Amino acid sequence: MAFEHPHPTPAGVVERPVSPLAMDPRHAKGGLAHQVNIPETSVFYNLEAAARRFPEKTAIQFFGAAVSYRQLLQDAEHMAGYLQQVCGVKRGDRVIVFSQNCPQFITAYFATLRADACFVPVNAMLLEDELRHIVEDSGAVAAFVGEELLAQVQPLLGTSCLRHVVVHAYGDALGDDDAGLPVPGEVRRRSSDAPLPAGVDRWNAALARAIVPAAHLAGPDDLCMLPYTSGTTGAPKACVHTHRTVMTSFYGSSQWRRVSPESTFLAVAPLFHLLGLQTNVNSAILAGATIVLLPRWDREAAAILIERHRVTFWAALPAMLVDFFAQPGIEERDLSSLSMVTGGGAATPQRINDILKNRYGLDYIEGYGLTETASFLCTNPVHKPKRGCLGVPTFGVQLRIVDPETRQEVPQGEVGEIVVHAAQVMLGYWNKPQANAETFMVMDGKRFFRTGDLASMDEDGYVFMRDRLKRMINASGYKVWPAEVEAMLNAHPSILEACVIAAPDEKRGETVKAVVALRTGAGDSEADLLGWCREHMATYKAPRIVQIVGSLPKGPTGKIAWRELQEQEHARAAATSN
């Protein structure tokens, strides 16, 4: 039962490259193959294969507790049986995972795939109204939820399509010994004995039933996941990914980055983001490697874990590296096991590049990808990276730089929009035909995805980010979309109109600023509005700065001139720094 494409493809148009996927031979050096063959299996099969090859090897290290591949496979199988026989989950049904990083998250992910269902990752910082949109839009029928997040989910039971919830406590995944690590108090908490509402069961009770699932039927073209991303208009949209699109991304990434069974990953990037899931879970499980898991960023714990478990692979955002190398005594830590530090999403300070190179002999391997492309799209060759660069197109990725208006390719070196034809590109947005029509274009008989990012390409084929066609704000690696925040602000009874822009921030890179005009007679202060935002929006979205003005500038058509406000903010920041 392959998934039906979300929108029709014009006759004669090539949807995506066919395996094997080749790359520019100029960059296939230093041991990198010039092409890859993508497996024709489900993503779940990778766990099954790893467990058969390395049954007693540690798959997940969670503070002082180790989960073997045999145990991970068994738990995923039993939870898949629970989904099918107790929750009534059928092939293609959507299942939400709403949790911080923990072993239960990884088990729930693979259990969902083992049940032939579709995984829907949800940012653990979302509030009830934001979560309701995802539940109703995806049609999710079941959910795995961290115990501290149950209050956000409970109102949706019985008032939406959501029928069943399995709740887990992070402390249940810990052993009796914390191994002397700084375990946060909320992670130590184990399951309570408090009664649960109808439709909710505890993780341990569900596992204890040891239900054997039906035969695994999903193949490469079945629906695999619906990760949500926001655009420049309206509420978040789900990206339709099959097992094939997801596998293409992380299989290519694993080959490019030389992942092996002896690799050890420090997994601290949130698993509800594809950066964390694809890089630190799917790539690791494919190889039979070990995942050293942290629920959230803690620079001291990260240093201890790298040293203790001889971590080799670390996907780290630039802001994370800045904080990590600022901690006292870091020079004394033995980080010699690191062989790959990779990331992207923001400019990396030169001093961080210098520390990595001079102290550890490492280059920071920057890359580029989107939720719509299952994360892995461009990256720097390991043997020849360029600083401040997105890298080069990876296996099978046909990348063009085009004029956003004419859609014609621009000359080499000039700035234009990145458009890509690649096997990891999503099939489309879930139930969003208009967005699909705007997002895809046909060139030379092939279907290209418009990224909305502006870049240029040098004479060697390396891509350099120049600007954002879309209005996305990158706050500590979290994508914040102004239109979504503006829609929330406009629900405030005192706000007449609002415009959200990016304000430079020393720690976050960028932070969210709201410029608002109030209704006549409204007496709200900027502090009042900031407090309201914190109550109604996820922490990373909520504006950190509010500026009240008499009116907002408008363009000739009456639209708010957000670019003018953005330019004023940059000018103000530049004047302050001088």
- Residues 168-193: tens digit of each pLDDT: 999 999 988 888 888 999 999 999 88
> Each residue of 407-427: pLDDT tens digit?
999 999 999 999 999 999 999
> Are 104 and 209 in contact, with CB atoms under 8 Å apart?
no
Surface-to-core class of residue 82, CB atoms within 10 Å of its CB (0-12 exposed, 13-18 middle, 19+ buried): buried
Terminus-to-terminus CA distance in the chain, angstroms? 62
Which band of pLDDT confidence, cut at 50, 70 and 90, is reported for residue 534?
Answer: very high
To 5 degrees, how large is the angle CA 345–CA 348–CA 353? 135
* Residue 332 CB coordination number (10 Å): 8
In angstroms, rounded to a whole number, what is the distance separating the alpha carbons of residues 387 and 382?
Answer: 12
446, 345, 467: which is closest to 396 by C-alpha? 446
Ranked by mean pLDDT, the top range of 455-464, 485-494, 505-514 is 455-464
Per DSSP (E only), the strands in 311-415 are 313-315, 340-343, 364-368, 378-379, 392-393, 398-402
Residue 235: pLDDT over 50: yes
In angstroms, rounded to a whole number, what is the distance separating the alpha carbons of residues 161 and 153?
Answer: 12
Residue with tokens 């629920």: 295
What is the rounded average pLDDT for all residues in the chain?
92
Q: Which residues pair with 392 in a beta bridge?
A: 379
Mean pLDDT of 327-347: 92
The runs of H, that is alpha helices, within 408-560 are 433-439, 482-489, 526-536
Instruction: Check residue 388 and give its pLDDT.
Output: 85
Per DSSP (E only), the strands in 3-148 are 21-22, 35-36, 58-62, 65-68, 94-98, 118-122, 142-146
Residue 387: pLDDT over 70: yes
In angstroms, rounded to a whole number, what is the distance separating the alpha carbons of residues 168 and 145?
Answer: 6
**Tokens for 315?**
């996907």
To 5 degrees, how large is the angle CA 276–CA 221–CA 436? 75
The runs of H, that is alpha helices, within 56-148 are 69-85, 103-114, 128-138
Instruction: Check residue 204 and give its pLDDT.
Output: 97
Q: E strand or H helix at 50, and its extent?
A: helix 44-53
> Each residue of 66-85: pLDDT tens digit?
999 999 999 999 999 999 99
Instruction: Check residue 2 and give its pLDDT.
Output: 47
**Tokens for 61?**
């290290």
Q: Which residues pair with 449 in a beta bridge?
A: 420, 440
Residue 8: pLDDT over 50: yes
Instruction: Check residue 234 and give its pLDDT.
Output: 64
Residue 556: pLDDT over 90: no
Mean pLDDT of 51-80: 97
Instruction: Check residue 1 and give its pLDDT.
Output: 44
Instruction: Check residue 467 and give its pLDDT.
Output: 72
To 5 degrees, how large is the angle CA 248–CA 252–CA 255? 150
> Are 190 and 172 in contact, with CB atoms under 8 Å apart?
yes
Q: Which residues pair with 368 in a beta bridge?
A: 378
Angstrom CA distances, 437 to 9, 137, 434, stand at 11, 19, 5
In angstroms, rounded to a whole number, what is the distance separating the alpha carbons of residues 561 and 140?
Answer: 38
In angstroms, rounded to a whole number, what is the distance separating the alpha carbons of residues 184 and 165?
Answer: 25
Which band of pLDDT confidence, cut at 50, 70 and 90, is reported for residue 3?
Answer: low
Residue 231: pLDDT over 60: no
Cis-peptide, bond into residue 227, ω within 30° of zero: no
Residue 131: pLDDT over 50: yes
Instruction: Check residue 469 and give its pLDDT.
Output: 75
> Each residue of 544-553: pLDDT tens digit?
999 999 998 9
Residue with tokens 């990348």: 399
Instruction: Check residue 166 and give its pLDDT.
Output: 98
Q: Which residues contact 351 (CB under 8 A, 6 or more apart)?
A: none
Residue 477: pLDDT over 90: no
Q: E strand or H helix at 356, and its extent?
A: helix 350-360
Mean pLDDT of 566-574: 89
Instruction: Check residue 294 and give its pLDDT.
Output: 96
Q: Is 555 helix (H, G, I), strand (E, B) or coil?
A: coil
> Each residue of 247-289: pLDDT tens digit?
999 999 999 999 999 999 999 999 999 999 999 999 999 999 9
To 5 degrees, how large is the angle CA 472–CA 577–CA 480? 15
272, 277, 278, 276: which is closest to 120 by C-alpha? 272
The secondary structure of residue 365, as a DSSP letter, is E
What does the longest C-alpha to C-alpha distance in the chain come to? 70
Let me know how many helices (H) and strands (E) the chain has, helices first: 17, 30
420, 97, 431: which is closest to 238 by C-alpha? 431
- Calculate the dihedral angle through the C-alpha atoms of 271, 276, 278, 281, rounding to the nearest 10 degrees: -70
What are residue 332's phi and psi, to 5 degrees? Answer: -85, -10
Dihedral over Cα of 490, 492, 497, 499: its sign: negative
